[in-house]
Chains A and B, each alone.
Chain A
Amino acid sequence: QVQLVESGGGVVQPGRSLRLSCVASGFTFSNYGMNWVRQAPGKGLEWVAVISFDGSNEQYADSVKGRFTISRDNSKNTLYLQMNSLRAEDTAVYYCAKPLRGANSWDYWGQGSLVTVSS
């Protein structure tokens, strides 16, 4: 069965960096573009970034463009989110999400990794 397991969250000071990982199993990871979606405490969902199946293309939300980098290692079935210059407003649960074939809606989600940016 499909599983997505995030790790790497924690408490970090403003301006510092953190890298999230998402290990995928149960499907052919290298065939799918993958996404990060976040949710601030008590708030709604916000799409963060997407990377193509082969890593050749990326897109970002304006709120993270220039600070976050999405990447993947298909040999390790792993998705990454490098987060630099973190701000208090980046505090959220970060989910990795697998899309349906042919649609940017997501049929499988990880359990989420909490990132807290605080001094």
Chain B
Amino acid sequence: EIVVTQSPATLSVSPGERATLSCRASQSVSSNLAWYQQKPGQAPRLLIYGASTRATGIPARFSGSGSGTEFTLTISSLQSEDFAVYYCQQYNNWPLTFGGGTKVEIK
């Protein structure tokens, strides 16, 4: 099983600042990595797939990069609606696995 590790567990950021979230896979997943945003009481929302492709309707302030084992989600200028938990997920190998999440909170 591919273990996916996210860091940090919590990120405190002021509105308007840049946020950088990391995701590491225990072995190469090529570019088969997705990022999701989840707010309390809601289902996850797909932000990025293929490591760097924004899903339909996702604002340009969200960007993904990386390949192999190291990936990054960057939110260029945090808006109030961006404070949430973010998960990365690999879909290169079965079983499909998620990281433990990064909570982005208001500083």
* A binding-site residues for B, Cβ under 8 Å: 44-47, 50, 59-62, 95, 100, 103-107, 109-112
Contact = CB atoms under 8 A, between A and B. Distances in A.
Contacts of A110: 43
Contact of B89 (A59, A62, A105, A112): A105
Contacts, number: 55
Interface string B32-75: 10101010000111100110000110000000000000000000
A95 B56 CA distance: 20
B87 interface: yes
Q: Is the interface of B mostly helix, strand, loop or mixed?
A: loop
Contact of B94 (A59, A105, A112): A59
Given A44-B101, A103-B49, A110-B43, 12 more contacts: A44-B98, A45-B89, A45-B101, A47-B97, A59-B94, A59-B95, A95-B43, A95-B44, A105-B46, A105-B49, A107-B46, A109-B43
A107 B49 CA distance: 9
Closest 10 CB pairs of A and B: A105-B34, A104-B91, A109-B43, A47-B96, A105-B49, A45-B98, A107-B46, A44-B101, A44-B100, A61-B95
Interface residues of B, number: 24
Nearest to B56: A107
